[in-house]
Amino acid sequence: MLLCSSAGGGFNLLSPANTANSTRLSSHFVHRNPVSSFSFSFRSSSLHLSENFKSNRDRRWYPIVASSTPVIESTQSSFRTKNPKDINVLVVGSTGYIGNFVVKELVNRGFNVIAIAREKSGIRGRNSKEQTSNELKGANICFSDVTRLDALEKSLRDLDIPIDVVVSCLASRTGGIKDSWKIDYEATKNSLVAGRNRGASHFVLLSAICVQKPLLEFQRAKLKFEAELKEEAGKEDSGFSYSIVRPTAFFKSLGGQVELVKDGKPYVMFGDGKLCSCKPISEQDLASFIADCVLSEDKINQVLPIGGPGNALTPLEQGEILFRLLGKEPNFLKVPIGIMDFAIGILDFLAKFFPAMEDAAEYGKIGRYYAAESMLILDPETGEYSAEKTPSYGNDTLEDFFERVLREGMAGQELGEQTIF
Ligand SMILES: NC(=O)c1ccc[n+]([C@@H]2O[C@H](COP(=O)([O-])OP(=O)(O)OC[C@H]3O[C@@H](n4cnc5c(N)ncnc54)[C@H](OP(=O)(O)O)[C@@H]3O)[C@@H](O)[C@H]2O)c1
């Protein structure tokens, strides 16, 4: 069991093994997993996020400055020499499509996992605390608010354990402009600051391969955080390292047409269906790769693009796989990409007069980006994407995934709130 302060101020006693017995307490403090005896000392200054958001368009950045928050400083040479059960891994974004699998993978590998979650989690906040606790069995669940540094720091202080590693699977659920900066940058930064102040010496970041060619706001937000993460690791005597994981396309982003095609609809693709390609990776394979990043020395201070097994696939090839599995004659609907440009042009124009339309224009750009840009390594000199240079990992193929969706449907593969990614 683990006692954790909620963002709302109360204390929640949660047993991962028996979440039905969740009880509100006020003063006891019980740990489910014995936390390693960890010698630490206090520093007088700490890493602190200091910036002022007036609005998205008027953003003023301030450097990281010292705060008076006491800082836990590890005196151990490396958490990597410890037994996994004695390594405390903080996971933020634990309730997402990937985060959920990452928590399970880390628990299966024997780490002591502290999963930060919202009291209402999942798409449109549909999961209660009990459902979240059931989903993340085996982890110590801490209900808190990653968007507020003070709340997150208080939650971790109340846990009263040091953190060795932070794993962030946080992402904006909408891809909207403000939300991307709030989550992909600010909240992720909060988890770095709070984790560092509890002694974390390694940070594993789930990013995206598409940040190589940043045309979208969420990509810029991610890149800004990546840069600050590297800066933190580059400080002299920081004793801090990172692994930045940049995956290609997820299965959920490619499965949206399976049931439609099964029902006799055509497979829709842009241009000739060869405008882009990717090496799709499953949630389980990606979670396994991310878990490797906790201990693997060869992943220290690395940016790690990663795809799934097999060849890169264009939308045309994905459609062909699907028709073959269904035993149907291919039936493609080819849509000119110019249609998207036209729609984005109108939305951009409207957004100039109606700021509320900014996000709609951004969603159009996200859709356009995924329709035309490959999720593969980009050669910055030639501007060409390379399937050969994009590493592969894992066992799950898109074909197996399509077969499963044809049999069982898309449960668990729902897209985010704007049904874009
Ligand atoms: N889709 C693709 O093909 C693809 C490919 C490569 C990379 N990626 C990248 O992979 C990343 C993760 O994707 P995913 O699909 O796993 O994300 P996801 O399912 O949308 O999960 C997002 C996580 O962030 C949390 N979060 C979002 N807004 C929050 C808020 N306001 N306060 C607290 N927590 C919040 C969510 O918590 P709640 O459950 O409480 O909402 C959830 O745990 C993204 O950065 C994406 O760019 C995606």
Q: What is the pLDDT of residue 411?
A: 86
CA dist 370 and 384 (Å) reads 16
User: Is the CB of 115 inside a 6 Å radius of any atom of ligand 1?
Assistant: no
Q: Give the Å distance between the CA of 98 and the centre of ligand 1.
A: 8
pTM metric for this prediction: 0.86
Q: What is the pLDDT of residue 71?
A: 61
Which CATH number applies to 2-247: 3.40.50.720, 3.60.20.10, 3.40.109.10, 3.30.200.20?
Answer: 3.40.50.720
- In testing the pocket of ligand 1, which one of 135, 168, 250 has its CB within 8 Å of the most ligand atoms? 250
For the chain, the domains span 2-247, 253-277+310-387+396-408
Q: What is the pLDDT of residue 69?
A: 53
Atom 7 of ligand 1, nearest CA residue: 208
User: Is the CB of 416 inside a 6 Å radius of any atom of ligand 1?
Assistant: yes
Which atom in ligand 1 lies closest to the alpha carbon of residue 146? 33
Q: Give the Å distance between the CA of 11 and the centre of ligand 1.
A: 26
Q: What is the pLDDT of residue 413?
A: 84
Which residue, 61, 59, 38, is CA-closest to 49? 61
Convert 300-335 to b/e letters by CB count within 10 Å (16 or more is b): eeeebbbbbbeebbbbbebbbbbeebeeeeeebeee
Q: What is the pLDDT of residue 421?
A: 55
In the chain (421 residues long), the average pLDDT of successive 10-residue segments reads: 39 32 27 36 39 34 39 64 97 98 98 98 96 98 98 97 98 96 98 98 98 97 98 95 98 95 97 97 98 97 98 98 98 96 93 92 94 96 95 98 96 69 55
Q: What is the pLDDT of residue 324?
A: 98
CA dist 23 and 2 (Å) reads 11
Report how far apart, in Å, the C-alpha atoms of 56 and of each of 96, 151, 158, 211 are.
25, 23, 33, 20
Which residue, 33, 71, 109, is CA-closest to 290? 109
Q: Which residue has the tokens 């998207």?
A: 340
CA dist 248 and 278 (Å) reads 6
Q: What is the pLDDT of residue 353?
A: 94
User: Is the CB of 144 inside a 6 Å radius of any atom of ligand 1?
Assistant: no
